[in-house]
Amino acid sequence: MSDKPAWLRPHGRPWTNDTERVVFENPWMRVTDHAATAPTGQPASYGVVRLKNYAIAVLPLHADGAVTLVGQNRFPLGDYSWEIPEGGGPIAADPLESARRELAEETGLVAAEWREVLRLQLSNSVTDERAIGYLALGLSEAAHGHHADDTEEIAIARVPFREALDAALAGHLQDALTVAMLLRGYHMAREGSLPDALARGMLG
Amino acid sequence: MSDKPAWLRPHGRPWTNDTERVVFENPWMRVTDHAATAPTGQPASYGVVRLKNYAIAVLPLHADGAVTLVGQNRFPLGDYSWEIPEGGGPIAADPLESARRELAEETGLVAAEWREVLRLQLSNSVTDERAIGYLALGLSEAAHGHHADDTEEIAIARVPFREALDAALAGHLQDALTVAMLLRGYHMAREGSLPDALARGMLG
């Protein structure tokens, strides 16, 4: 993209953080409670969920236009969720290395080509969680296959891209990173940002 | 969409919630800490952030293909964020009513036509936050204009859809709901799900 449009400029004063205390901490997050001052000058109390990892997401696109999805039981909503491969990447680590690791661990795939295609703040009024989305192309099976950690039981499905996208838009896949990355893949296929044969395979 | 594809079926056993205690609560969320059992049978401790509202997002599309965005300082990441109109809608309330209210309060706009176009789980390994995205069409100015609450200072910009989408893909807009809804708007314009003149205006 070219120059940053003028309308993107910030307005007004930022929030100020007046006092802060940690109210909960585990290996993945810290919850902090703040006395703050709003941009309007109004005092406000604010609770923030601070994540210790980036959310790393990988859209693995096979040459025929199929995508590899992973399925797992999720605890917070108590449901079964089909998603693109995702996981936490330490904020101090190279996020591309985290992406390679997640893809290999969850699917047993390695990719010859990686492209960073999305940066997201997942819920920026409540958490500071940041996500990075990668496209993985030139896929092949790793020598040693996939291995989940001891709380994960991961199912794998290789499905036509269009079928995955339609399932997301019908509400069968709801993980935000998955839906955003499928829509980003559609956009790239339509805009000529992917090899022609791949784009044709994806768009069906 | 037609029938639900067979690959969407769940596998394995769900997590079980063995004990639970509330470790933090404010008007918007409750944080709970659990002893749980993973699908693998492994005991695990799990912290969950439980939101008291749906995240409601509105993509307001003007007949010429422009979109109205709102800008505000956000506390959790300490940055200035341009987004589509969004806000919390009580889980017990009609989410479409929450969408109408958010659009009017943040932009002063009313819409003649509403379409629900996206359901998301914003960060389903850590929170139970659910989001609903609406398209708002047939826009006009409300009689009384917009009015923010006493901690909000909202700026408004009406920009060409393509410019907003490009800004998101360049990383200048990162709010996940905003980026997902802009990509959903692009998808609908490309797939013939919007009036022709609107789609042409959006795609520039």
CATH code at A70?
Answer: 3.90.79.10
ipTM confidence score: 0.96
Mean pLDDT over A167-175 rounds to 98
CA distance B112 to chain A (A): 23
Strand (E) or helix (H) holding B160: strand B155-160
Looking at chain A, the whole-number percentage of residues with pLDDT higher than 70 is: 97
CA distance B142 to chain A (A): 23
Contact B29 A150 (CB under 8 A): no
Residue A181 lies in a domain: yes
Per-residue pLDDT of chain B (204 residues; tens, 9 = 90+): 457 899 999 999 999 999 999 999 999 999 999 999 999 999 999 999 999 999 999 999 999 999 999 999 999 999 999 999 999 999 999 999 999 999 999 999 999 999 999 999 999 999 999 999 999 999 999 877 666 677 888 999 999 999 999 999 999 999 999 999 999 999 999 999 999 999 999 999
For residue range A1-30, list pLDDT tens digits in order: 457 899 999 999 999 999 999 999 999 999
For chain A, the straight-line distance linking the first and the last C-alpha, in angstroms and rounded, comes to 28
Q: Please, which residues have CB within 8 angstroms of residue B126's CB and are 6 or more apart in sequence?
A: A28, A29, A49, A51, A76, A127, A129, B47, B48, B49
Reading across the β-sheet that carries B79-83, which strands appear in turn?
Answer: B79-83, B66-74, B155-160
Q: Kindly state the tokens that stand for B66.
A: 């422009």
pTM reported for the whole predicted model:
0.97
**What is the count of structural domains for chain A?**
2
Based on the fold, state whether residues A19 and A60 are members of the same structural domain: no
Given A39, A55, A180, which is nearest B153 (Cβ)? A39
Based on the fold, state whether residues B142 and B180 are members of the same structural domain: yes
Residue A10 lies in a domain: yes
Residue B3 lies in a domain: no
Based on the fold, state whether residues A86 and A120 are members of the same structural domain: yes
Residue B187 lies in a domain: yes
Contact B179 A28 (CB under 8 A): no
Say if CB B15 and CB B128 are below 8 A apart.
no
The half-sphere exposure of B143 on its side-chain side, counting CA atoms within 13 A, is: 0
Q: What is residue B40's predicted lDDT score, i.e. its pLDDT?
A: 93
Based on the fold, state whether residues B152 and B87 are members of the same structural domain: yes
Contact A24 B23 (CB under 8 A): yes
Based on the fold, state whether residues A130 and A165 are members of the same structural domain: yes
CA distance A192 to chain B (A): 14
Based on the fold, state whether residues A97 and A36 are members of the same structural domain: no
C-alpha distances (whole Å) from A199 to each of A66, B26, B57 are 11, 47, 30
Q: How far apart are CA A131 and CA A113, in angstroms?
A: 20
Say if CB B83 and CB B70 are below 8 A apart.
yes
Write out chain B residues lying below 8 Å of A155, CB-based: 11-12
3-state helix/strand/coil string of A23-47: EEECCCEEEEEEEEECCCCCEEEEE
Q: Which residue of A has its CA nearest to B77?
A: A128
Range of the domain at A81: 52-203
Residue A31 lies in a domain: yes
CA dihedral B99, B166, A172, B28 (to 10 degrees): -40
For residue range A41-73, list pLDDT tens digits in order: 999 999 999 999 999 999 999 999 999 999 999
Given A23, A75, A187, which is nearest B186 (Cβ)? A187
Residue A1 lies in a domain: no
Q: What is residue A170's predicted lDDT score, i.e. its pLDDT?
A: 97
Based on the fold, state whether residues B67 and B44 are members of the same structural domain: no
Contact B176 A78 (CB under 8 A): no
Based on the fold, state whether residues A134 and A175 are members of the same structural domain: yes
